[in-house]
Amino acid sequence: MQNFSYHTHTNSFGCYDGHNTIEEMINAARTKGFCELGISNHLIYHPNIYNGCEQAKNDKMYHADFNKAQDIFKRTIDKIKEVADKEKFKVYAGFEVDFFPSLKWRDSFEKIITEVKPDYLIGSTHFIRTSDETKMCNIYYIKSLEAADDEKEEMLKNYWRNIIEAIKSRYFDFMAHLDVCKLFNLCCEDKWNYWKEKVIETLDEYKQPFELNTSGWRKIGEQHPHTWMLKELGKRNVPIVISDDAHRTEQIGENFEKAEVLLKDLNYKTRWKLGK
Ligand SMILES: [Zn+2]
Ligand SMILES: [Zn+2]
């Protein structure tokens, strides 16, 4: 069974959404029999991150100020490395990054990464946005989005375009929860299969690793991504890694047995690991 996870969150500096400290997460991984652990708090930076959603203004994970963002991200990585040294356990210090395709965002992001030096990066899309990135809303706050129906439809299409552009950017070691939008019953109708197929094609073309995220089983009774997507990606030998997306110690390695059974049933052959 896979005995590591690279998608986990902590409560560092009181500004992330994990519930445990770095030490607690490392010790839980050790107790679980893991050989290594990746810690990937959210990297959410965009000058317009608050535009489009009232609720976002109170979210401590969001950063619109470049210097403040760079500073906190640097302290986050440095702290993980410091604790890992003390705990004598193999820990990778990374980020789960909310990607945006504009050149302006990419330029800032590249500056941050050069300065902060994380060990790895997970590519994520939690936001729907307008094409010019002037208005955006985390799907977790979808109820507070103020947009007309046709604008919302366009923003949902951009959810998929965003994933495709993130793959093409080649910034990321692996892609997170491709269909996380289904948590909020978004893009569940058959018409969205067009976009899901486009994501599959792009992952294949770029041989971009992605995750089987087990946290969906806890939330809605289904993993990310859909089983039919996994089947298609398996046929194409796109590398896969199992993630728990643990926000608490007890979620580390959660449902990994079930994920292994699913991958075996699908005869999924190509697995991925950091440093391979
Ligand atoms: Zn996520
Ligand atoms: Zn996550």
Q: How far is the CA of 126 from the centre of ligand 1 (A)?
A: 7
* pTM for this entry: 0.98
Residue 172 C-alpha to ligand 2 middle, in angstroms?
14
Q: Which ligand places an atom closest to the C-alpha of 179?
A: 1
Mean pLDDT of the chain: 97
Chain centroid, CA 55 distance in Å: 21
CA of 153 to the centre of ligand 2 (A): 25
Instruction: Find the 23 Cα to ligand 2 centroid distance in Å.
Output: 18
Measure 13 CA to ligand 1 centroid, in angstroms: 19
Distance CA 39, CA 5 (A): 8
In this predicted structure, the answer to whether residue 208 has a pLDDT above a threshold of 90 is: yes
**Model pLDDT, residue 54:** 81
User: What torsion, rounded to 10 degrees, do the Cα atoms 26, 32, 36, 37 define?
Assistant: -50
Nearest bound ligand to the CA of residue 123: 1
Per-residue pLDDT tens over the stretch 99-131: 999 999 999 999 999 999 999 999 999 999 999
Task: Pick the closest to residue 174 from 41, 272, 276 (CA basis).
Answer: 272
Q: Given this model, what pLDDT does residue 55 score? A: 83
DSSP state of 242: E
Q: Are 93 and 122 in contact (CB under 8 A)?
A: no
- Please, which pLDDT band fits residue 57 given cuts at 50, 70 and 90? confident
The neighbour count for residue 71, using CB atoms within 10 Å, is 15
Mean pLDDT, rounded, for 165-169? 98
Question: For 211-248, what is each residue's pLDDT tens digit?
Answer: 999 999 999 999 999 999 999 999 999 999 999 999 99
Q: What percent of the chain has pLDDT over 90?
A: 95
Q: How close is the Cα of 261 to the center of ligand 1, in Å?
A: 23
What pLDDT, on the 0 to 100 scale, is given for residue 53? 85
For 60-84, write each residue's pLDDT tens digit: 999 999 999 999 999 999 999 999 9
% of residues, the chain, pLDDT over 70? 100
Q: Which long-range contacts (CB under 8 A, 24 or more apart) does 51-59 make?
A: 51/134, 51/135, 51/136, 52/129, 52/130, 52/135, 52/136, 52/137, 52/145, 52/146, 52/147, 53/136, 53/137, 53/138, 53/141, 53/144, 53/145, 54/144, 55/141, 55/144, 56/137, 56/138, 56/141, 59/138
pLDDT at 276 over 80: no
- 56 pLDDT band (50/70/90 cuts)? confident
**Architecture category of domain 4-265 in CATH:** Alpha-Beta Barrel (3.20)
Q: Is 210 helix (H, G, I), strand (E, B) or coil?
A: strand
